[in-house]
Amino acid sequence: MNKQNIEKKQIPKDKIINYDVVIIGGGGGANIAKYARENNLKVAIVEKERLGGTCLNRGCIPSKMLIHPAEVADEIREAKKYNIKNNTKFEVDFKKLVSRITENIFEDSDNLAKLYKKLDTIDFYHKQATFVDNKIIQVGRKYITGKKIIIGVGARPGIPPIQGLQDTPYWTSTETLRNTTQPKSLIVIGGGYIGVELGYAYDALGTKTNFLVRGNFIPREDGEIIEEFDKVFRNKHKITDITSIENVDYINGEFKVQIKDKQGKKRTLKAEKLLVATGVKSNNDLLGLENTDIKLNKYGYLQVDKYLETNVKGIYGIGDCVGNFMFRHSVNFETEYLIPQLFNKKTKKAPINYPPMPHAIFSNPQVAGIGKTEEELKQSKTKYFIGKCNYRNSAMGSALLSEYGFCKLIFEQKTQKLIGAHIIGPQSSVMIHQLIAHMHHKAKLEDLLKLIYIHPALPEIVRNAARDANKNKK
């Protein structure tokens, strides 16, 4: 990477504040900061926004606090299918709902700031971090460095180059979670997990929502999960299949989105609000890394080795800005790995060894998965066999009057090890955990079959899928 001609500003050494650890980003690196302060290491934390990172402030936590009331609203609407008469039309106090969510997450974030400010071993810089050399960072008018520097600045919504979009007050996930006035109508651009989660929540709470989708919903999932999700989601929501978005205007308080549909016909769709949920981009471009030798890949993510270290010795990368996985639970795993590697001299240096990484999509239907998809196995020419069970083919599924959903288990043919598990349906984010444990312990089909499952709990669906796999093995 070419350095700018800044002559390093000839910063005198006595003007540079030295730390044992510098953490850039106030999210996933918190575990490292906690360990460091408990061991009397001098720590600097640099965060230009609120502490807590994406997960606390504009991701996992506030979105689930919005989605759960949406699920309750759905249950009220569907009560009649259980022979419960519901003749009262409910109303959503949207302002109070979102204000409560925001107050809760701001309180948690503010408590972190208060904690850091009162600790002698931690200096909290509520400013932008800018590298001026490999290990020298400018924060405001000060310059800091550290024996160990951890970059964990996360990612932000990526905005597609749609004509006219930049001149409109469109929403990203951040604005969607802060908005206190419920719109009458909403257009969602994007069929990934952010779009289907937030769009579902608004729709279930009473906003007329239109999803613009080019291709498949949740495209990274197993093919059968995608197919089932598409079928169920289309039955519940308004979907417009498109080939392109030609233009976006905002006139007199209304969005006008000109699209080209699957038949090649141009149409204009209108809504009060517009949510753009088409992916994310790393925040590394805000750090002045052009003034360093730190390498990024072609997508703008930090290049790290098997020890999470960049090509500049002593500088490490974690979380979304590295791009290996985009989950809070994955960055937590990375920090738990790094702590003994960086600070415990008795720990033998070892590369990070990621177990199969689980994930969940908290829409309706809910989706969870871990391990390989059937498509990945076909591409790698791995021999496998599968077992499936529909929700409705279980006692609890019957009690729930399940009309959709299934558990799909994938086993390697030669070893009969569980190598993939995919669930779509109620509580799938909970159900997947038994399969996370099985995969972590390299369980085989026989291990799943030997267990006793509580009757008539939902995990019997997993047992039934294992029994089906037992019929299909060769």
Output the pLDDT for position 96. Answer: 97
Count: domains in the chain: 3
Strands 238-251 and 315-317: unpaired
Residues 6 or more apart from 190 whose CB is under 8 A from it? 212, 213, 275, 276, 277, 278, 279
Whether 297 and 267 map to the same domain: the answer is: no
Output the pLDDT for position 41. Answer: 93
Taking only the tens place, the pLDDT of each residue in 293-327 is: 999 999 999 999 999 999 999 999 999 999 999 99
Output the pLDDT for position 115. Answer: 87
Look at residue 239 and tell me if it is in a domain: yes
Look at residue 150 and tell me if it is in a domain: yes
Whether 47 and 185 map to the same domain: the answer is: no
Residues of the chain above pLDDT 90, percent? 88
Q: Three-state SS across 15-70?
A: HEEEEEEEEECCCCCHHHHHHHHHCCCCEEEECCCCCCHHHHHHCHHHHHHHHHHH
CA torsion angle 30 135 319 63 (round to 10): 60
Output the pLDDT for position 1. Answer: 42
Output the pLDDT for position 9. Answer: 61
Residues 182/309, Cβ–Cβ less than 8 Å? no
- Mean confidence (pLDDT) of the chain: 94
pLDDT at 281 over 50: yes
* Residue 347 binned pLDDT confidence (cut-offs 50, 70, 90): confident
Q: Which residue, 250, 278, 306, sits at the end of a domain? A: 278
Whether 129 and 171 map to the same domain: the answer is: no
Output the pLDDT for position 474. Answer: 81
* Residue 12 binned pLDDT confidence (cut-offs 50, 70, 90): confident
Whether 458 and 409 map to the same domain: the answer is: yes
* Residue 368 binned pLDDT confidence (cut-offs 50, 70, 90): very high
Look at residue 200 and tell me if it is in a domain: yes
What range defines the domain where residue 14 resides? 8-156+281-343
Q: The CATH number of the domain where 191 resides is what?
A: 3.50.50.60
Whether 336 and 377 map to the same domain: the answer is: no
Taking only the tens place, the pLDDT of each residue in 192-240 is: 999 999 999 999 999 999 999 998 999 999 999 999 999 999 999 999 9
Look at residue 360 and tell me if it is in a domain: no
Output the pLDDT for position 4. Answer: 44
- Give 251's strand partners: 254
Q: What is the pTM of this model?
A: 0.94
Output the pLDDT for position 199. Answer: 98
